[in-house]
Amino acid sequence: MWGIFGHGNVAGLGQALEEYGTDLPYLQGRNEQSMVHAATAFAKATERRQALACTSSIGPGATNMVTGAALATINRLPVLLFPGDVYATRHQGPVLQQLEHPLAGDVSVNDAFRPISRFFDRIQRPEQLLTALPEAMRVLTSPVEAGAVTIALPQDIQSHAFDFPAAFFEERTWRIERAHPDSGRIAEAAELLGAARRPLVVAGGGVIYAQAREELAAFAARFGVPVAETFGGKGAIATDD
């Protein structure tokens, strides 16, 4: 987990990382946006089979991650964001750089993550993690829905105790489930290719994430079809092929 600590994430999440850092190593960032960009690059380099988390304090610390979140979602790359959030109990008013909406008491700057996240949740009670975290992992491992996942953590709720079931912390393997191509679509593609005079394959990032580079190269070589790459598909075929 990348992180920059301040009011909103040091007393809860910061303490947890200090206690359990051997299982979840912490990397200190210098800029929140750069942390998310680094996490996005890591996800791409590991072909969407690994992801990094990023945590920030309330206010500008959180909004610094918005640009990186949009980039991750647009490119279908999994990153997990834990921005600190305002007090859920409402016992305290705005603190330091905290920003709230003057006409809506349940809105904070973290709501800016809603339209650019594949999944967004704000944890108002600790037991809500029992459903929020599995859903976050489902989205992070989905070839279709992968992108930024934002779990906003109010700074008071982070320090609340809850008797979580032990099974919730057991190691689990998440499968990346891919939809099989429709046989009718395959037949249509074969018919189009068979009738084409100068066919061209446009290879996108799906070739890389499906680990289909060798299959693409074999297909292109067998049928003499040239291959072009999108930005997301860079590296789908060898440059000297």
Higher pLDDT, 215 or 59: 215
At 7, the pLDDT band (50, 70, 90 cuts) reads confident
165-202 pLDDT, tens digit each: 999 999 999 999 888 889 999 999 999 989 999 999 99
121-156 pLDDT, tens digit each: 999 999 999 999 999 999 999 999 999 999 999 999
List Cα–Cα distances, 1 to 8, 27, 105, 147, in angstroms. 16, 6, 30, 17
Identify the CATH number of the domain defined by range 2-169: 3.40.50.970
Judge whether residue 11 has pLDDT over 70: yes
Domain ranges of the chain: 2-169, 183-229
Please report the pLDDT score of residue 200 as a whole number: 94
At 65, the pLDDT band (50, 70, 90 cuts) reads very high
